[in-house]
Amino acid sequence: MQPYSLDLRTRVAAACAQPGSRQQQVAERFGVSVSFIKKLRHQQRATGSLAPKPASGGPARLISPAEQAWLVAYVGQHADATLAELNAAWQAEFGRPVGQTSIWNVLNEHGLRRKKK
């Protein structure tokens, strides 16, 4: 999900600064939530900025680059292996489970798509 634009953030903050304005009314006017306005105002007081925070990038990937290289090499040797077979080989090699979606994502990034069977 994309953060709200700086333009919208600026307009919301300006509307909140008007005398007699209420957060609920501003939220309805601009189509945002009251919690967004509260967080925006808190951020403005704390940092002086209305700019969105940088993306955190999400959780760390479960498959390391070295493990990804092993998986790509394994697929090169076993081109007809299904995702279930790749998952079984993965668990035999590394001794820990990983989801088939994680395996598929790695293969997709390397141009080696697989179908689930």
How confident is residue 22, by pLDDT bands cut at 50, 70 and 90? very high
Mean pLDDT for 99-103 is: 90
Decide: pTM greater than 0.75.
no
CA atoms within 13 A on the CB side of 17: 10
Could you tell me if 27 and 33 are in contact, meaning their C-beta atoms sit under 8 angstroms apart? yes
How do the domains of the chain map onto residue ranges?
6-47, 65-109
Q: pLDDT tier at 97 (50, 70, 90 boundaries)?
A: confident
Percentage of the chain modeled with pLDDT above 70: 96
Which one has a higher pLDDT value, 40 or 110? Answer: 40
Q: Give, in order, the Cα–Cα distances in Å from 40 to each of 2, 57, 60.
A: 15, 21, 27
Q: Is the pLDDT of residue 117 over 80?
A: no
pLDDT digits (tens, 9 = 90+) for 43-76: 999 999 999 988 877 777 788 999 999 999 999 9
DSSP code, position 81: -
